[in-house]
Chains A and B, each alone.
Chain A
Amino acid sequence: QKEVEQNSGPLSVPEGAIASLNCTYSDRGSQSFFWYRQYSGKSPELIMFIYSNGDKEDGRFTAQLNKASQYVSLLIRDSQPSDSATYLCAVQNSGGSNYKLTFGKGTLLTVNP
């Protein structure tokens, strides 16, 4: 059973702070890792993807991957109230042509003005 674990939160941070979201996964064969943002009542929106160990930065977002520890995280710098949403970690084992994603349950982030 492939599992993706996230702290369900809620995680509450003040505006301007750094929000840190964490995710662990059980399948060592996982090769691709994604962070999606989901506003209430809406579908997921891709924020970041990362394939290699280390950090990947895109604007205010930084994804971090440590395959040895089976750990992936998302940092949001200068958090804004508009960042308040549920953040879903998704893991993909890209063996062959199977691109199925396994999602965590998500972490609810609240950014307080």
Chain B
Amino acid sequence: GAVVSQHPSWVICKSGTSVKIECRSLDFQATTMFWYRQFPKQSLMLMATSNEGSKATYEQGVEKDKFLINHASLTLSTLTVTSAHPEDSSFYICSTAPLAKNIQYFGAGTRLSVL
């Protein structure tokens, strides 16, 4: 399968700070990347679809000003959790698919703990 690199894998931060998570596709170009959030014992919930060179599309109920997405190149998308609070503590996972393919491959995920 395709290789998707996500960094960092684990981060602890203080309440009110911002955290940036990177998602890279290593062996293919991706015009679209997806950002998910997963709370303990819950399924993956799509937060937003990141589109290279244009604005991200956010799912209903996801605050675009709090979860900033940048997709500046065909291999890199970033998610910034701004002014993080304890309720933002979760497992954030990105995924992407090779151009013209519909099979999504996932990064390893980032576990965020906000104190």
Contacts and interface: CB of A to CB of B under 8 A. Distances in A.
Contact of B46 (A45, A49, A100): A100
Interface residues of A, number: 22
Contacts of A94: 102
Contacts of A105: 42-43
B49 interface: yes
B103 A88 contact: no
A92 interface: yes
Interface string A20-51: 00000000000010101000011111100100
Contacts of A99: 32, 97, 102, 104
A41 B38 CA distance: 10
Size band of the interface chain B makes with A:
20 to 34
B69 interface: no
Contacts of A43: 6, 93, 106-109
Interface of B: 1, 6, 32, 34, 42-46, 49, 93, 95, 97, 102-109, 111
Given A34-B103, A34-B104, A104-B43, 16 more contacts: A41-B111, A43-B106, A43-B108, A44-B44, A46-B104, A46-B105, A49-B103, A88-B44, A94-B102, A99-B97, A101-B95, A101-B104, A102-B46, A103-B43, A105-B42, A105-B43
30 contacts: A32-B102, A34-B103, A36-B106, A41-B111, A42-B109, A43-B6, A43-B93, A43-B106, A43-B107, A43-B109, A44-B44, A44-B93, A45-B106, A46-B1, A46-B103, A46-B105, A49-B103, A92-B102, A94-B102, A97-B32, A99-B32, A99-B102, A100-B49, A101-B46, A101-B95, A103-B43, A104-B43, A105-B42, A105-B43, A106-B43
